[in-house]
Structure formats: C-alpha cells, structure tokens
A and B are shown apart, each in its own frame.
Chain A
Amino acid sequence: MPAGRSRGLPANSPPAPGARVYRRKRRSWAGLIYVLPAVLLVLVFFVLPLCMTGWMSLHNWPLLGESRWIGLGNYIALWKDRGFWRALSFTAYYTVAATVGLLGVGMALALFVERPRPGVGFYRTAFFLPVVVGFASASLLWAWLANVDSGLFSPLMRMLGITESPYNLLATFTPAFWLVTGMVIWKMSGFYMVILMSGLQSVPTDFHEAARIDGATRTQRFLHITLPLIRKPIALALILSVTGSMLAFDQFYIILAGGPQNQTMTAVYWIFNQSFVSFRLGYGAALSVVLLAILLVLSVIQLRLLRDREDGR
C-alpha cells in the first residue's frame, strides 16, 4: 500500500465498497423520485386505462346493468363478426389511399416551399392553415360543400359542364370515398409538408452541387441523393399517417355516417357503434385490443424496414 494512503484517504479516492453501494442506492432512489411524476402520469393515463380495457374485454359489460365474466368469449365472437373484418378491410384501403395522397402532396408542397424566396412565407402559412382546423369542423364544412341542395360542389360541377343535373357526391361509394379522402389530404398535407421540409433542408447542398457537376439530372438527384437522406422524416410521416388513418373516425361519421349502405364504416366507427349504440362495452374493448395489436404490428414492421435500410442490409 503506498505511504500516502496510510495517512488517510485523499478527497478524491474511491469510497469503501459499502459506502459506494449505499451512495449508488441513494442515487437510484433519487432518480426514481425525479421520474416518479412522469411514471405516475404514464401509469394513470396510459397503463391503467389499457389494463382496464383488457379487463373489460374479458366481460360481458353492458353500458347499463351488471357486468359478467366471460373469459375469451368476446375474442371468439369477433372472429365471426363479419362487420368488423369488413370495416377493417375498408380501413386498410383508406389507409393506403390517404397515406399515398398525404405523403405525395406533402412532398410536392415541401419541395415547393423548401428554399427561401419571395412569398414563400405566405405559401407555407397557407398550406399549413387547414391543419389547425379541427377534424370535426373541417368535416362539417365539407359536408356542407358536398350537399347537393345547398352546397357548392354540385352547382360548380354543373357550371363547368361536368354534370347536367344536380349530382349528389355522397350518394355512391366512389365519389363519397374520394371526397372524404380529398378532405383529409387538404387538411393534413400541410403537416406532412413541415415534416418533410425539415428533412429536405437538412440535406447538405454540397452533395447536390457535386452531383450536378457530374451531370446528374434533377430527377436523379432527387431519387439518389434527397430521398435516401430524408429516410427518417419519411418514416416518421409514414408511421403518423398509417396510425392516424387506421384510427379514422370523425370524417366518416360526420360527412357520411358510414354510408352509403355502411360501405365507409371504419374499424373505430364499428367499435364506437358496438360500445355506444349497442351498449356492448366489453365487446368494444375486445375490438379495441385487437386493433391496438394490429397497429403495434404495423408500426414494428415499418420501423424494422427503415432500420434495415439504414444499416445497409
């Protein structure tokens, strides 16, 4: 042992093993106390409702009256629930249409307003404005615009010579579906524009200059430089769009009430009906758990695809 040590431990020497454990324990307790409010918030507002939903899904739980344990009865019933699977398949169809539209239009807008030039602030604000309108308000507005008797679209179509007589856009599936999808693209593409614009602005200009000197065209530069470098913002936009679309409800409820003939019934709309029209809260909870599981799988797949590409595999 060095002489110095025998005269006592210097201030910065390591503490005795017992004291070290004690201090580490104290530090971990202190850390726990610091994060406790956040943990409590997560427990109360996320974990507990999730557990409660799982618990309810194992019961015959009517809105009025006593609940009764039925084990996996609701999950067995939902396999045979053609309405739910039909709603889920429509939701998937809508998700693909909305996501392609949102990312496509969002990217076009982002490229348009990416670089500073005169008037770009106005365009950015104008494109982003619909995002701050609530989904319910936007849906009510579009429901009115599409109303064949008092709205604007039908007279406009007649004025432009597209139709000869009043045309009810909400009466058949194809125009009704694209009207709602169009409304969502109008309302949300500004949000995706912001995400993608931040990605575009982070691409170093040197890369583009070097490629231009090497004779790369604008399309080649976009496909081979820009797109690979903004993979992360694209992935974020993709996950947000897929998750949001899979949970679509307000717009189909307000504009179409699931019509025509229940053809635009989304998965969440079906869950809402089971829970608050048929008053089957337990069954609604089971459907919610299944939808959550589907969303979880979809998100994991998207993240994995992104990670694999990032690692160059």
Chain B
Amino acid sequence: MNNRNLLAGMTVAVLIAPSAAYADSFTMWARADDSTFMTKIVDAFNAGHADKVELQIVPTGELVQKYAVAAAGGSAPDALSLDLIYTPSFAAAGQLEDITDLAKSLPYFDALSKAHLSVGTYKDKIYGVPFSADASVLIWNKDLFAKAGLDPDKGPTNWAEIRADAEKVKTLGSDIYGFYFSGNCGGCNIFTFTPLIWASGGDIFADNGAKSTLNSPAVKDAVAFYQGMVKDGLVPEGAKTDPGANFFAAFATGKIGISPSGSFAIGALNSQYPNLHYGVTFLPGKDGNKSSFAGGDNFVVTKGTKKIELIKQFLDFAYSLPGQTLLAKNGSLPVRADIAKEALAGLDERYLIPAEAMNVGRTPYSVVFNDLINSPNGPWNTTLNNVFFSTPDAIDQGLADGQDAMQTIIDQAAQ
C-alpha cells in the first residue's frame, strides 16, 4: 500500500468512526437447546439495527453454574434467556433486575404468556418476561392406529381412550407397544405427566409452591393410570430406566402407538422422520378437558445493567410479528397470544394445538425446582419411578413418602 492509499484509508476510517462510536451493544447468553432460534433472531436484529446484541450460546447443563461464576466475577451478561423454571430462584438470590416497569409498558403486556409471567414474578415484582415457549401435547402414530383398526385421524381425548387405543396397538406385535413415557426423568414427567393431573382438577403444589400435595386423589388417579398400563405390558421394559434419552426417540422408531411429548417434536419429526405419520392432540384429564406444561425461556436482565434501553429495543423486535414469526419458524411457539395465529400462518397446522395449549398452560412455581423436580435423585423423580413400576397397593405409601420428602426440601429452603 503506498502512502496516498494509506492516507485515503485513514481519512475514510476517521469519517466513519463517529457513526460507529454511537452504536452500542449488550451481551446476552442463551442455552444450547435454544441455539437455532436464538441465533436467527439475534442475527435478524443485528442486521436491521445499528445497536447490536452479542449472543453467547452456553451448554444447557452448565448455564446456571457459568452464570454464577460470571456474576461472582462481575462479568455476567447484561441479559439471559433463562429456562423459565429457574426465574424464581435467580430472583430470590438477588441476581436479577426488577423489570416491572419495562414489562408493563409493553402495549401487548396482557397478551404475553401468563404462565411465563407467573414464574417471572417474585414478591410482586416482575423479573422475567416470556421469550420462547414449548407446550406439552399427546402424539399418536397414525399408521399403527390404522393397522389396529382405529380411526387414524382421531386421537384419544381422555384416559380411558388412551388405554383402549394403547391396548389395540399392542396387539400388533411383541415389539410394538401402545404407550411410552420416560419413567426415570423428572423433567420429562413434570412436562407431560402433571398436565394429566391439572386437567383432572388436581395439582402437585399448593400455596404458590409452599406446600406439596403429591399425596392427593388426582395424583393417585393419574399414577394408577400409568401403573396399570405398565403392569399390563403396554409400555416397553426400557421405560423404567429411561432418563429422558428416549423421550422423543422411542416414538420416532415407529413402534409406539401413543406418547406424551412437546411441541418441539413436530419440527423434529417433520425434518428427521418425514415418513412417520402422526397426529397431535391435547394432554387430557381423566374425563376429558385439557392442560399443558408451559415451558420455554424467560428473558431476564442482570441486576445493575446499564443497557436497559437497548434491551427494550431487542425485546420490541422479538415481540413484533416478524420476530414472533421467525421464532415460530425455528422451533419456538409464539409467546404473544394476540398474534400467535398470524405468526404460525403457513406452518404445519399441527402447531395450532400446542399454541392453543399454551393458553391453558401452567408452570409450577418453586424456588427449589431443581432439587424437587429436575434432579434425577430428587423426590419427584424417585417417587414417580417407584410408584409407576410397583403394585397398586404401594401407591399410597409411595406418594405419602414423596410428599414428605418434597415438603422437607421446601421447608429447608424457606428457612
């Protein structure tokens, strides 16, 4: 490069420098499970705005630990797309910024997912707003239904129908099973088993998570329903020790008639198993009705960040119709009920079922969710694993012990 070119380059650099200096950015972390839609939405925002989001994808299982270490060292990101069930414990630990004013200033605040907002609220202040969503649903194999003489276009609508359909599918062969669930996975069962209880009028917690109600009639009924199917051989042997590895994969083999699953399965089945014909319906209660676990992420902001205005810009974009459409196309349900149908237009029609399920979706509230529910060694998972695969007379004692164990952890955390 000769001197004249160098001088010209320096002049250009000086001329464009002021505009670059005005651009600002904020840092955001997201878990690897969300990498597809998080990357897309951040790229779209960065392409259309002078201000930028610096996204870092963190391995899902390490996000909490990494965030804690970064927070202790003063290098936490400005914002975080956080598995919504962690919002109460993060807020209780004083890590998050109160964003009540920001949330309530959004004109579509009332249309945002209520379940997300309920776990995003701690002591009447909002610390997390909905960002991505995943609802639980029931899926059935249409080909196996047809072979078993069932109507392939009609999914079961109550427990008796699930059982009857599963029995018919089981008659198709020794390696074909009527029903599948991951029997050693707390996270899978809070997502797909609790809705059966909710839709039957029961719950596993009372008093906003302060009381465990595991030993209650609706829970007993639901456990007896699963246990009966296990005892009668409608569920494969491997379900007992499945820690979630086959939560999706078992149904994808094409040898399972019915399985509770999540909205994520629609995209995954369509892209990875295009020849598998399946239907999607609501998770029903004992006598009908419907419910769902409202999963996904809350958007939270680290306490003390100076980038709140910039963060609001990004949220506005994510909540806009193009933002919600982009999320829907890449694996997340819309979190704004008022534009959900528009955002899902043109996509697989089966997405409308989980989108509607989100409206009745619930998320349990607990500051010790990880200890109680997610941990493979926690009381939720060990209790269910015990009662699902034992005998009917063991249910009462098993659930009573489980309730005591859960209550002990809740009480310890409250001290």
- Interface pair B375/A262, CB less than 8 Å apart: no
Q: Is the CB of A276 within 8 A of B65?
A: yes
Q: Report chain B residues within 8 Å CB of A273.
A: 375, 377
Q: Is B404 an interface residue (CB 8 A)?
A: no
On whether A257 and B64 interact (CB within 8 A), knowing A65-B95, A171-B240, A278-B370, the answer reads no
Q: When A62-B93, A64-B71, A259-B241 are in contact, do A277 and B386 touch as well, CB less than 8 Å?
A: no
**Given A63-B64, A63-B65, A276-B65, are A260 and B93 also a contact pair (CB < 8 Å)?**
no
**Roughly how many angstroms separate A170 CA and B389 CA in the complex, as a whole number?**
13
Find chain B residues with CB under 8 A from A65 CB. Answer: 93-95
B370 touching A261, Cβ below 8 Å: no
**Docked CA distance A166–B240 (Å):** 13
Please, which residues of chain B bring their CB within 8 A of the CB of A260?
241, 385
- Taking a contact as CB atoms under 8 Å apart, the answer to whether B375 and A63 are in contact is no
Partner of A149, one of B184, B237, B375: B237
Partner of B238, one of A62, A149, A278: A149
Chain A residues contacting B378 (CB-CB under 8 Å) are: 277
CA–CA, A62 and B64, complex, Å: 12
Complex Cα distance, B243 from A171, in Å, reads: 12
On whether A277 and B370 interact (CB within 8 A), knowing A64-B93, A257-B376, the answer reads: yes
Which residues in B have their C-beta under 8 angstroms from that of A257?
184, 243, 376-377
Contact A148 B93 (CB under 8 A): no
- Check if B240 sits within 8 Å of A265, measured CB to CB: no
Say yes or no: is B247 at the interface (Cβ < 8 Å to chain A): no
At the interface, yes or no: A201 with Cβ under 8 Å from chain B? no
Is the CB of B236 closer than 8 A to any CB of chain A? yes
- The reply to whether B238 and A148 contact each other, CB–CB distance below 8 Å, is yes
B90 within 8 A of A: yes
Q: Does B356 contact A (CB under 8 A)?
A: no
How far is A260 from B386 in the complex, measured between Cα atoms in Å? 9
The yes or no answer to B106 lying at the interface (CB within 8 A) is: no
B68 beta carbon closer than 8 Å to chain A: yes
Main secondary structure of the interface of A (DSSP, over half): loop
User: Would you give the shortest CB distance from A110 to chain B, in whole angstroms?
Assistant: 36
Smallest CB-CB separation from B233: which chain A residue? Answer: A165
Q: Assess the A279–B241 pair: CB atoms within 8 A.
A: no
Shortest distance in angstroms between B388's beta carbon and chain A's nearest beta carbon?
12
Contacts of B246 in A (CB 8 A): 149
Contact B237 A166 (CB under 8 A): yes
Chain B residues, CB < 8 A from A269:
377
Please, which residues of chain B bring their CB within 8 A of the CB of A261? Answer: 382, 385-386
B89 near A: Cβ within 8 Å? yes
For the complex, would chain B's binding face be called helix, strand, loop or mixed by DSSP majority?
helix
Q: Is A198 an interface position by the 8 A CB rule?
A: no
The answer to whether the Cβ of B143 comes within 8 Å of any Cβ in the partner chain is no
A168 within 8 A of B: yes
Contact B238 A262 (CB under 8 A): no
Q: In the complex, what's the smallest C-beta–C-beta distance from A156 to chain B, in angstroms?
A: 15
Q: Is A104 an interface residue (CB 8 A)?
A: no
Bound together, the chains give a CA A258 to CA B385 distance in angstroms of: 13
Q: Is A147 an interface residue (CB 8 A)?
A: yes
Which residues of A sit under 8 angstroms from B368, Cβ to Cβ? 278
CB distance from A68 to the nearest CB of B (A): 13
**A258 CA / B184 CA spacing, docked (Å):** 11
- The answer to whether A258 touches B68 (Cβ under 8 A) is no
Check: B221 CB closer than 8 A to any chain A CB: no
| Among A165, A166, A258, A259, residue most surrounded by chain B Cβ atoms (within 10 Å) | A259
CB distance from B227 to the nearest CB of A (A): 15
Within the complex, which residue of A62, A168, A265 is in contact with B241, where a contact is CB–CB below 8 Å? A168
- Looking across the interface, which residue of chain B has its beta carbon closest to that of A277? B375
Query: When each residue 103-114 of chain B gets 1 if its CB lies under 8 Å from chain A and 0 otherwise, what string results?
Result: 000000000000
* Interface residue? B51 (CB, 8 A): no
User: Which of A148, A150, A277 interacts with B371 by CB under 8 Å?
Assistant: A277
B385 pairs with A170, CB closer than 8 A: no
CB distance from A140 to the nearest CB of B (A): 11
A258 touches B64 (CB 8 A): no
Find chain A residues with CB under 8 A from B94 CB.
65-66
B69-98 vs A, Cβ < 8 Å mask (1 yes, 0 no) = 001000000000000000001100111000
Q: In the bound complex, what is the Cα–Cα distance between A247 and B184 (angstroms)?
A: 25
A170 CB contacts on chain B under 8 angstroms = 241
Contact partners of B386 in chain A: CB under 8 A: 261
- In chain B, residues 358-415, which have Cβ atoms closer than 8 Å to a Cβ of chain A? 368, 370-371, 374-378, 382, 385-386, 389
Which one of A63, A64, A259 lies within 8 Å of B376 (CB-CB)? A259
Q: List 4 extra interface pairs beyond A148-B236, A168-B241, A277-B371, CB under 8 A.
A: A64-B89, A66-B94, A259-B376, A259-B382
Interface residues of A (CB under 8 A from B): 62-66, 147-150, 165-168, 170-171, 257-262, 265, 269, 273, 276-279
Q: Could you name 14 residue pairs across A and B whose Cβ atoms are closer than 8 Å? A: A64-B64, A148-B238, A149-B236, A149-B246, A168-B238, A171-B240, A257-B243, A257-B377, A259-B184, A273-B375, A273-B377, A277-B371, A277-B378, A279-B89
**5 interchain residue pairs of minimum CB distance:** A64-B93, A65-B93, A149-B238, A257-B376, A170-B241
